[in-house]
Structure 1
């Protein structure tokens, strides 16, 4: 891995990563952030969780024409973008419209508890190709991305005020994407958010009772069944889980205990990249055009505690059902938190299994 670091003129950071040396002639990009960035948190008394408020996000980029793509490399003062021209593979920079930032201060007064929305929101541009996709990247490029996620997680952990790092990608207008250049995001929270907190509690309970990693045992059970497996390699597995809440939901998991990106070794990264690419190619092959999804990577929190039961993994939530119908969250999902799936995981797994993932 080759890295170059820059400070933008507005104080935001930019990091470039590559499989090849990065030329010294590459400089920082030109686009600057708005001046009124100051998100805050308010406490939800009934749900027992924080809600972030960042009204300036309403002005963020929305389906720009190609000549105004902020993620396309440019050094033209008339068309400034986030990225400089040059030969590199992946770029990471501070989001111009963050829901969490180290600069947050002085939250507005309210009768519920408030606090500055301290944290970090980073954009991860997967490729310079605006028409590209994560699933079409070479395997060693995806391996580099896994290593980038590890480096970013370690850097954010070093701040001391971050408790959880979530890497994710939204793909497709169907899940609300407003900029289609292939990219993901990293959210670094000053607390462990509710969804991973609940999973972590169940993982800790299982480890305490059995001394084993829950997700490793679940992945082994899926491997033994084979009924819903999409990829099985020496270090990783991908499957439609028996407990899927979404049609075509898929999970990608290292087969040995690995708590975080930073704990992956080279062989694990390589096989995890192959498992990830297989799922993405099957999605697009099934859809015969770009398949919409939310991809979220879960790892151990940064609270200074040991989490031996935690397992690094990715979960894919595709909204697509069948005949171009989309699964939107409805009353039981939003109001009660109980998902109702109109499709059996076994049936959807068979559809994906029938698609050849041609690398």
Structure 2
């Protein structure tokens, strides 16, 4: 079972032995060692005793229970830890829920605390994230903007999954709807090279969902730039964005992926009238992908978007030195009794 030691920032790996007597380090080239570490640290589901309830909101293919990695190899010596941890962070996908998720991985505070626990080097090595987002959390875009403002938030790939139970008023079988504000004001961190958005609903509502998928696909998404805080001509504090013309994310020309899965008709521990009398329901998942395009966004696409401004209370990472900001946020989160949990799921 993987533990938080796999990404612990408290282990001193300076001055480690180069292990000349070990064939792993003295004979095998680094590329082969990386493959060994990747296989040894591969994620797996917990046993049935720890599986998620099938009628929970977070049970789905790939997430049938806590996903773990055996980190025992990393504990053999400091050199194994130093090399293996990079592979561990690079290869694994780290998942967070906003909201309706498993304990310890749900809510903005848990996600923020995770990144506060990473060193600068670890944040560079971590590449893949997944967010399960309820509509109230996602639509406005401000929650994403706050997480993106954290200096240690530096993934190359982010997957945003909108589950069937994340749509507005799914409990009443309401028509699917999603505001575009989160895409219109999207500005990812500078190193983000891919955004995958998974849309999920019941098979019978596929055409309804596809209208939203096709509408969203047209958006071009900003990445990079620097948020600062200045003052306007009246001396009032305002947020300023310094543009980065290096590139943007586009879904133009990317193929949609579609797959289906069957789950229990009970959800959240209860039955739902619009699910019918059967024991199961069938879900359809459509995935769209935005990839990095070099160069400046067109004027037409630029005019369609707006800059997402952070609430003054959430500007801490852009107004203060990171060490100062991280101490303040750690103290605030500790006061709220949010415990760190940095195991990958």
Q: Which has the higher contact order (CA 8 A, sep 6+)?
A: 2
Do both share a fold (TM > 0.5)? no
Structure with bigger gyration radius: 2
Q: Which structure has greater helix proportion?
A: 2
TM-score, normalised on structure 1? 0.28
